Amino acid sequence: MTCGVVLFHTNSAALRAEKVLQRAGLVVKLIPTPREFSSDCGIALRFEWQDAARVQQLLDAARVERASIEPMGG
Amino acid sequence: MIYLDNAATSFPKPPQVIRAMNDFLERAGGNPGRSGHRLSVEAGRIVYDAREAIAELFGARDPLRVIFTLNATHALNLALRGILRAGDRVITTGIEHNAVMRPLRALEREGVRVAVVPCARDGSLDLSALRDALRPGARLVVVNHASNVVGTILPIAEIARRARAAGAWVLVDAAQTAGVVPMDIEAMEIDLLAFTGHKGLYGPPGTGGLVLGERVDAAMIEPLMRGGTGSRSEFEEQPDDLPDKFECGTPNGVGIAGLGAGVRFVLERGIETIRAHEVALTRALIEGLSEIPGVTVYGTRDAELQTATVSFTVANRRVSEIGLRLDEEFGVLCRVGLHCAPAAHRTIGTFPEGTVRFAASVFTTLDEIRAALDAVRRIVQV
């Protein structure tokens, strides 16, 4: 399954995002930020790419600041 | 033993606080916010959950505007040093703790103008005197929510409204009221709230924080320290993101785990319930002490207008002697002297001797208050 990652500026924002998305029933996991992306924050949030629109919408609604949302290569 | 020194630090702590700290060290020992492995992430979650509980307690919408510090003093220094520049005017009151007065006196030597609005002998603040002090304008108003000496609660919402109208930010020292008096930083228009974790929030020492209200632009506050945050590691400049701008170095994860559990205990018990219990104890304390010949009780002497902190003296007796006898002969533990607040003791007229201070908590019982009153009665007789 194709995954995506949400990248953050701070660890606290990543932890906040995890909570917001888990409460909405999404399957997510905090992982060390893949080095091909920004090194802003040590952890990133992996999710199933099919949920990308939902992830964006939920994070916007909860006003969770993020750097970007990226698809992860195979 | 009867512990009546809860204004210094609360004791005992709820068992869930001890369990949370034990659990953190046993199970989640990673460095929060530094690495991506499960122990680091788990430690990070515990710290984040505490942030969320604190935001809920104080009515803050964004948990990332909760900045963890070592204690209330650290939070106050961060705010005062971070905001005030030479030439700025700051207003405070005559009932403050040295956690406010010492940083202000140091800033005064660096060109900050400090105005102290006097308080009445019972610790209450005359709002018209504050209005006069605000007339020339001010950058900041810093006030304690309740006195650590006499427990008098200041009308924060009214103070904040006047300060805002004059274009000043409001910094509240909630060391004595967090977890004890209901508080909503947005409804009360508080811009910055400094709290400690180890008193009314029932966490361990070494915890506290600064909550930034929605109106505060964090860009206007300089950090007290700079260092590693686990974020934006490619840059040698401190990041601007919250809370990282003001939190650097490894945090007190084990302490924050305990603090989070303490705050959840307060939320579950309910601040209104805690307050009602403490008002009943305070009323018994004030009434009982007032009936003992030779005893003078300070403050408003109205339990509804103060926290569960009651100061008194006994005619022709040193407070140190009373404190020692209470401990040695009756097992009543309290704090005597100036309580790090010479300004407050000048205001209530007890400088430099100080007072005997009894301070109850949610765990104090009416029977313990009665026993402490008996002890004072017997000491006064002999």
Q: What is the CATH number of the domain that holds A16?
A: 3.30.70.1530
Domain boundary among B226, B248, B269: B269
- Give the nearest partner residue to A42 out of B47, B62, B230, using CB atoms: B230
Same domain, B250 and B354: no
Same domain, B228 and B100: yes
- Give the nearest partner residue to A40 out of B32, B64, B232, using CB atoms: B232
Whether residue B36 and residue A30 make contact (CB cut-off 8 A), yes or no, is: yes
Q: Are B123 and B96 within 8 A, CB to CB? A: no
- Per residue in B66-125, pLDDT (tens digit) is 999 999 999 999 999 999 999 999 999 999 999 999 999 999 999 999 999 999 999 999
Instruction: Give the global pTM.
Output: 0.95
- Per residue in B334-343, pLDDT (tens digit) is 999 999 999 9
Q: What is the CATH number of the domain that holds B137?
A: 3.40.640.10
Same domain, B238 and B375: no
Q: Are A39 and B233 within 8 A, CB to CB? A: yes
Residue A41 reports pLDDT greater than 80: no
Instruction: Find chain A residues with C-beta within 8 A of B229's C-beta.
Output: 10
Q: What is the mean pLDDT of residues B119-148?
A: 96
- Give the nearest partner residue to B243 out of A8, A12, A40, using CB atoms: A12
Count how many domains chain A has. 1
Q: Shortest CA distance to B259 belongs to which of B210, B209, B199, B201?
A: B201
Which structural domain, as residue segments, surrounds residue A36? 3-72
Query: What whole-number distance in Å separates Cα of residue B342 and Cα of residue B270?
Result: 33
- Per residue in B44-77, pLDDT (tens digit) is 999 999 999 999 999 999 999 999 999 999 999 9
Instruction: Find chain A residues with C-beta within 8 A of B212's C-beta.
Output: none
Q: What is the CATH number of the domain that holds B324?
A: 3.90.1150.10
Task: Indicate the residue type of A30.
Answer: L
- Determine the residue of chain B that is closest to A9 in CA distance: B231
Q: Are B355 and B317 within 8 A, CB to CB? A: no
β-pairing verdict for B208-212 and B192-196: antiparallel
Rounded to 10 degrees, the C-alpha dihedral B229/B230/B234/B236 comes to 20
Question: Any CB–CB contact under 8 A between B105 and chain A?
Answer: no
Same domain, B102 and B120: yes
Whether residue A30 and residue B231 make contact (CB cut-off 8 A), yes or no, is: no
Question: Any CB–CB contact under 8 A between B214 and chain A?
Answer: no
Count how many domains chain B has. 2
Which structural domain, as residue segments, surrounds residue B367? 2-10+271-381
Same domain, B240 and B278: no
Domain boundary among B269, B284, B315: B269
Best of B47, B48, B52 to disrupt the A interface by mutation (most A CBs within 10 Å)?
Answer: B48
- Per residue in B197-215, pLDDT (tens digit) is 999 999 999 999 999 999 9
Q: Which residues of B39-75 are buried (b: 16+ CB within 10 A; e: fewer)?
A: ebbbbbbbbbbbbbbbbebbbbebbbbbbbbbbbbbb
Same domain, B230 and B170: yes
Q: Are B11 and B240 within 8 A, CB to CB? A: no
Domain boundary among B269, B288, B305: B269
Whether residue B44 and residue A43 make contact (CB cut-off 8 A), yes or no, is: yes
Whether residue B239 and residue A9 make contact (CB cut-off 8 A), yes or no, is: yes
- Determine the residue of chain A that is closest to B44 in CA distance: A15
Q: Per residue, what are the HEC states of B161-191?
A: HHHHHCCCEEEEECCCCCCCCCCCCCCCCCC
> What confidence score (pLDDT) does residue A74 get?
53
Same domain, B222 and B324: no
- Per residue in A8-40, pLDDT (tens digit) is 999 999 999 999 999 999 999 999 888 888 767
ipTM here: 0.84
Same domain, B258 and B343: no
What is the distance in angstroms between the Cα of B28 and the nearest Cα belonging to chain A? 15
Instruction: Find chain A residues with C-beta within 8 A of B45's C-beta.
Output: 15, 18
- In chain A, which among 25-54 make CB contacts under 8 A with chain B? 30-33, 39-43
- Give the nearest partner residue to A11 out of B33, B52, B234, using CB atoms: B33
Same domain, B375 and B296: yes
> What confidence score (pLDDT) does residue B277 get?
98
Same domain, B93 and B198: yes
What is the distance in angstroms between the Cα of A10 and the nearest Cα belonging to chain B? 6
Same domain, B82 and B6: no
> What confidence score (pLDDT) does residue B33 get?
80
Same domain, B346 and B256: no
